[in-house]
């Protein structure tokens, strides 16, 4: 009798273990199915840092580029200057690799803003862009008014302290190695160090994630642009 009870207990435990294992495998399979069919499922969502306000500048072809041209697009924004011999060449070499990796993505762009518009004319930006082999339809080198460029960098892309806008514009010079990743709705989602390989790898991964997201309408409040994500 005792042997029968022990055998029954062993069989019951084996059944429980089998069923537990079956349901665990079922759950894991279901989870990975969702990961494959639902973009971004299982990954932490990138937070919204800020909203990019309306802007208008000239690209390397002398054509106007505005926020309307990147609505529904995922893009990376950077600030540089063509005469830079420090971080800018390395930064743009890294962005060239990013441009190459996403060359087949119709909804991806790169916006490179000058911090020295007095030097970086449309013609000069054209020479610089051509030296990188940049596709003028997908990688825009933008120039315009210095105050507008700097205000956008600080209040829109969060690439510098917005308090610096209060100083005399003629005495300012913005120099940064950071990149802003913007989603299809014109929202800054993350900032990256463009000189670090691990952060560039994260950038490319996050670009792929945002490309899968559905486009969201740019945020307005009472008809005026609201840059507060809260």
User: Helices marked H in the chain — which ranges?
Assistant: 2-37, 87-101, 122-131, 146-151, 197-212
DSSP state at residue 182? E
Which burial class, exposed, middle or buried, applies to 74 when counting CB atoms under 10 A from its CB (0-12, 13-18, 19+)?
buried
Residue 217's Cα: distance from chain center in Å? 17
d(CA 178, CA 91): 9
By C-alpha distance, which of 169, 162, 116, 165 is closest to 143? Answer: 116
Q: Is 5 annotated as a binding residue?
A: no
Q: Is 88 annotated as a binding residue?
A: yes
Task: Count the Cβ atoms, other than its own, within 10 Å of residue 158.
Answer: 17
Collect all residues with Cβ–Cβ distance below 8 Å to 210 and sequence separation of at least 6: 46, 74, 181, 183, 184, 189
d(CA 49, CA 191): 9
Positions at the binding site: 84, 88, 175
Positions at the binding site for Cu cation: 84, 88, 175
């Amino acid at each position: 009798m005792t042997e029968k009870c022990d055998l029954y207990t062993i069989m019951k435990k084996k059944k429980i273990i089998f069923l537990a294992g079956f349901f665990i495998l079922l759950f894991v399979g279901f989870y990975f199915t969702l990961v494959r069919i639902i973009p971004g499922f299982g990954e932490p969502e990138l937070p919204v840092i800020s909203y990019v306000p309306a802007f208008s500048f000239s690209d390397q072809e002398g054509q106007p580029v505005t926020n309307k041209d990147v609505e529904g697009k995922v893009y990376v924004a950077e600030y540089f200057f063509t005469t830079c011999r420090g971080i800018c060449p390395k930064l743009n070499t890294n962005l060239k690799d990013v441009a190459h990796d996403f060359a087949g993505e119709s909804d991806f762009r790169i916006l490179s803003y000058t911090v020295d518009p007095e030097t970086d004319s449309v013609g000069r930006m054209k020479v610089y862009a051509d030296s990188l082999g940049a596709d003028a339809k997908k990688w825009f080198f933008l120039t315009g008014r210095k105050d507008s460029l700097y205000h956008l960098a600080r209040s829109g892309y969060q690439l510098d302290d917005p308090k610096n806008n209060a100083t005399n514009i003629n005495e300012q010079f913005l120099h940064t190695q950071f990149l802003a990743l913007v989603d299809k709705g014109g929202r800054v989602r993350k900032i990256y160090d463009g000189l670090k390989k691990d952060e560039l790898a994260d950038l490319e991964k996050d670009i792929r994630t945002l490309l899968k997201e559905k486009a969201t309408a740019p945020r307005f409040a009472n008809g005026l642009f609201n840059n507060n994500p809260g």
